[in-house]
């Protein structure tokens, strides 16, 4: 994500007003914090940077109640939804440079805001150290299979095969994709229209952060 000075061409000493880039940076951090909490809940760990030993982690799996985990994940989902609403309002703040400047900026619509927020979520997910997470999970599974006492423990079997709040439970997104692609408006678009919409969004996003002159949007 570009810094504010990169978007506006300002020196650090000239930064006085808030821009859309500032809003994106601010909310991107909050998105990362929420997703980090979500992943910690799925993994039943206190920190993603300092993971426990696999033996310690396996021993503590039985401590967590499924209902409590579901409630925590639901709460985090609500928090992310509320953050999106706050982000939508903040991007239209009347005091932002793009809203008060006499230079021309593209005025974002609701679709642009939603897609920009989704990009922030996607970027936050890619920033997770998935190699470290995967290595930890595989080592833990090896610990379980190596010790017959672990492999027969009900709480561990539930976490691996039954729990809906476990990072080990396979999940798919077919329902989401089906809902999107079965939309009548989406079906009515030709492949060329879809490509054009994609290009239009990229162009609009650039114009939302970089001023243009002599044109009214």
| 8 A C-beta contact, residue 48 and residue 36 | yes
- In whole angstroms, give the CA distance from residue 98 to residue 117: 18
The closest of 62, 29, 65, 32 to 48, measured between CA atoms, is 32
Residue-level pLDDT at 100: 87
Distance CA 64, CA 206 (A): 46
Q: What is the pLDDT of residue 178?
A: 66
Burial 90-126 (b: 16+ CB within 10 A, else e): bbeeeebbbeeeeeebbebeeebbeebbeebbeebee
pTM (2 d.p.): 0.76
Q: What is the tens place of the pLDDT at every residue in 137-154?
A: 999 999 999 888 888 888
Beta strands in 40-110 (DSSP E): none
Residues 6+ apart with CB under 8 A from 100: 17, 94
Give CA–CA dist 143/151, Å, rounded. Answer: 9
Ranges in the chain, pLDDT < 70: 1-16, 102, 170-181, 185-186, 211-217
């Amino acid at each position: 994500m570009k810094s504010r000075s990169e978007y506006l061409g300002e020196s650090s000493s000239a930064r006085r007003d808030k821009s859309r880039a500032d809003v994106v940076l601010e909310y991107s951090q909050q998105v990362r914090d929420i997703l980090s909490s979500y992943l910690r809940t799925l993994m039943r760990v206190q920190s993603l940077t300092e993971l426990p030993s696999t033996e310690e982690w396996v021993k503590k799996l039985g401590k967590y109640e499924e209902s409590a985990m579901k409630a925590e994940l639901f709460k985090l989902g609500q928090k992310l939804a509320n953050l999106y609403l706050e982000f939508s309002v903040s991007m239209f703040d009347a005091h932002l440079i793009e809203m008060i400047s006499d230079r021309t900026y593209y005025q974002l619509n609701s679709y642009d805001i939603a897609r920009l927020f989704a990009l922030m979520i996607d970027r936050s997910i890619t920033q997770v150290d998935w190699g470290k997470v995967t290595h930890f999970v595989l080592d833990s599974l090896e610990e379980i299979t190596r010790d017959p006492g672990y492999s027969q423990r009900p709480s561990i079997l539930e976490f691996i095969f039954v729990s809906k709040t476990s990072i080990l439970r396979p999940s798919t997104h077919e329902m989401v994709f089906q809902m999107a692609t079965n939309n009548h408006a989406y079906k009515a678009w030709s492949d060329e229209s879809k490509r054009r919409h994609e290009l239009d969004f990229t162009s609009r996003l650039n114009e939302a952060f970089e001023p243009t002159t002599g044109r009214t949007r």
